[in-house]
């Protein structure tokens, strides 16, 4: 049996247990044990599976189940997470970075700042939906889900900050019109006279 705990997915490790019971004869007459000098169990196949890799196999012997001889083979599996780093974590980090770069746009370019942030937010949400289709479904949040929610919240917060800054800028210019940039006619004339 494999009781997968995917809370740390895709950085998870799993334990699968194969129980072998010799029924029909009680353990008083027959007992399942490993051969002297051997590990008891040997895996002969590819260790890299589609998403997981076999780490090791262990054997538990001298167990009993309803007075029958029982051995357990423990298979330790580790998720191959490089795919998710390259195809999920790095692109979403780059999207958040693009949204963060909007703070370097001129403050007057509210439309540019908000549109870039909104676009990255929509791409993050669409990416989350697309990735969720291909990963195991659980009733609880996985680490990859938490990462996506974190990225979406960060980009949304950036949009709120842009909106607040724009609101404060307009509020300030309405209250204090003298703070609007004014053109000094003398400086413009002096500059234009210097031009050939």
Residue-wise pLDDT for 156-182, tens only, equals 999 999 999 999 888 877 765 555 555
Phi, psi of 155 (to 5 degrees): -65, -40
Instruction: Among 1-15, 24-38, 70-84, name the one with the lowest average pLDDT.
Output: 24-38
Residue-wise pLDDT for 20-38, tens only, equals 887 778 777 777 677 776 7
Q: Where are the domains of the chain?
A: 13-79, 82-179
First-to-last alpha carbon distance for the chain, in angstroms, is 86
Residue 89 tokens, joined:
């974590």
Residue matched to tokens 């072998």: 20
Sheet holding 13-26, edge to edge: 13-26, 68-79, 52-65
Secondary structure (3-state) at 139: coil
Secondary structure (3-state) at 101: helix
Instruction: Among 118-122, 134-138, 161-165, 192-196, name the one with the lowest average pLDDT.
Output: 192-196
Q: What is the pTM of this model?
A: 0.77
Instruction: Among 5-19, 75-89, 171-185, name the one with the lowest average pLDDT.
Output: 171-185
How does the average pLDDT of the chain come out, rounded? 86
Tell me which architecture the domain covering 82-179 has in CATH: Up-down Bundle (1.20)
């Amino acid at each position: 049996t494999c009781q997968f705990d995917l809370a740390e997915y895709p950085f998870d490790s799993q334990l699968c247990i194969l129980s072998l019971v010799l029924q029909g004869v009680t353990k008083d007459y027959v007992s399942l044990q490993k051969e002297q000098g051997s590990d008891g169990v040997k895996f002969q196949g590819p260790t890299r599976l589609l998403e997981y890799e076999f780490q090791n196999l262990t054997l538990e012997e001298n167990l009993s189940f309803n007075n029958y001889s029982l051995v357990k083979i423990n298979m330790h599996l580790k998720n191959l997470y490089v795919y998710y780093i390259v195809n999920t974590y790095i692109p979403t980090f780059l999207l958040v970075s693009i949204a963060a770069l909007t703070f370097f746009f001129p403050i007057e370019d509210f439309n540019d700042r908000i549109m870039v942030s909104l676009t990255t937010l929509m791409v993050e949400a669409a990416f989350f939906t697309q990735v969720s289709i291909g990963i195991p479904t659980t009733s609880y949040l996985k680490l990859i889900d938490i990462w996506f929610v974190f990225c979406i919240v960060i980009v949304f917060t950036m949009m709120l900050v842009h909106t607040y800054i724009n609101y404060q800028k307009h509020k300030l210019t309405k209250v204090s019109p003298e703070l609007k940039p004014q053109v000094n006619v003398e400086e413009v004339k002096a500059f234009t006279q210097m031009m050939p």
